Amino acid sequence: MKALILSGGKGTRLRPLTYTTAKQLVPVANKPILGYVIDHIRDAGIKEVGVIISPETGEEVKRYIDAGKRWGIRVTFIPQSEPLGLAHAVIISRDFLKDDSFIMYLGDNLLSHGVSDSIKKFRKESPQALIFLKEVDNPKQFGVAKLDRKGNILHLVEKPKRPPSNLALVGVYIFSREIHAAISRIKPSFRGELEITDAIQELINMGHDVRSEILDGWWLDTGKKDDLLQANTVVLDEYIKRNVKGSVDCNSQITGRVTIERGASVRCSTIRGPVIIGKGTEIANSFIGPFTSIGDGVTVRNSVIEHSVVLNNAFLSGIERLEDSLVGKNTRVIRKDTHHKALRLMVGDDSTIEV
């Protein structure tokens, strides 16, 4: 079994942040989304990992993963010059995949339970594909599956105008080598892409055994700001523990599950968890509320921040209230007057905001 992680694409739904950062490297609870994906792959015992990269962000992804030694995996980087579809990503990975079974995992998706049990199920039952489904409120935005009363897959369709169900295909798939033959029989969709949904449907048309698993845990697609903030909330709520390694003065109050990394300092402030504060960050005369992640080297002074993600080396001062916001690296957010209002921001890297 091998793994194919998709870490290309342009990340248009997260612009302007993704003009300078790969969407898969945007952090959730101060850890890149891609890191959680690789953790799941490693925990499933997979050692051979192919990573699809794009011309725009490929070097950044390479720097983060390096050779994969921190996970104990062997990595092959596979350039995709244009985002021509998930099935196209499989085509250009054929030299890496050969005829092995593989799990394909979109690098901006997160699953609550990992994939170890599903891979064991696939190996035991030997279908040609195992797909993951999740009930959603907006099926028009996803590939959708229609099942019969016994749970067998009847039909799949990509981003339908009239969805046959509310069961969306999650961005994780397990395939045997038969997927290559199915992909060779499909044509580009109306979007000009080779859709993996069409390839799975072709497997069904060819009479192969395609099975599904309906997720009972959470699934997070972090492609948009609000999705990423929701992912940050869920991961903080589930994983963050009280772990104060940095310095906290006697005039500060830390309540709940708060992680303060080594080298960070908190002065005359209140931190109410779940919250994570990165290395070398300075918090002074401020309130940091629940479900907030603050990266490394950040400075926060005389400000109130809740339910937000602040990336490395940002500087925030005099902000009456910042909520539901995503603030990029090296960004300055500074109050210049006394007009009070709550801010809702999505700020790209290297920006200056005066409010």
CB atoms within 10 A of CB 177: 14
Average pLDDT, the chain: 88
pLDDT tier at 256, thresholds 50, 70, 90: very high
Which of these, 181, 186, 213, 180, lies nearest to 198 by C-alpha position?
186
- Count of C-beta atoms within a 10 Å radius of residue 124: 7
* Rounded Cα–Cα distance for residues 19 and 237 (Å): 29
Residue 19, burial from CB neighbour count under 10 angstroms (0-12, 13-18, 19+): middle
| Residues 27-72 pLDDT 10s | 888 998 899 999 999 999 999 999 999 888 888 899 999 878 899 9
Closest CA relative to residue 110, chosen from 275, 291, 234: 234
Per-residue pLDDT tens digits for 205-224: 999 999 888 888 888 766 66
State residue 190's pLDDT score: 82
HEC states along the chain? CEEEEEECCCCHHHCCHHHCCCHHHCEECCEEHHHHHHHHHHHCCCCEEEEEECCCCHHHHHHHHCCCHHHCCEEEEEECCCCCCHHHHHHHCHHHHCCCCEEEEECCEEECCCCHHHHHHHHHHCCCEEEEEEECCCHHHCEEEEECCCCCEEEEEECCCCCCCCEEEEEEEEECCHHHHHHCCCCCCCCCCCCHHHHHHHHHHCCCCEEEEECCCCEEECCCHHHHHHHHHHHHHHHCCCEECCEECCCCEEECCEEECCCCEEECCEEECCEEECCCCEEECCEECCCEEECCCCEEECCEEECCEECCCCEEECCCCEECCEECCCCEEECCCCCCCCECCEECCCCEEEC
C-alpha dihedral (80, 84, 87, 90), degrees to nearest 10: -10
Strand 167-175 to strand 129-135: parallel, antiparallel, or no bridges (unpaired)? Answer: antiparallel
C-alpha 214/C-alpha 204 separation (Å) is 18
pLDDT score, position 333 = 87
φ/ψ of residue 199, rounded to 5: -65, -40
- CA separation for the pair 83, 104 (Å, rounded): 16
Instruction: Indicate the domain borders of the chain.
Output: 2-235, 243-354
Amino acid letter at 169?
L
Of 28-37, 191-200, 274-283, 345-354, which has the strongest mean pLDDT? 274-283
Check whether 151 has a pLDDT greater than 80: no
**Predicted model pTM:** 0.85
β partners of residue 304: 287
CATH class entry, domain 2-235: alpha beta
Q: In the prediction, which pLDDT does 119 show? A: 94
Domain 243-354: give its CATH superfamily.
Answer: Hexapeptide repeat proteins (2.160.10.10)
Distance between first and last Cα of the chain: 53
- Alpha-carbon gap, residue 165 to 142, rounded angstroms: 11
Given a cut of 70, is residue 226 above it in pLDDT? yes
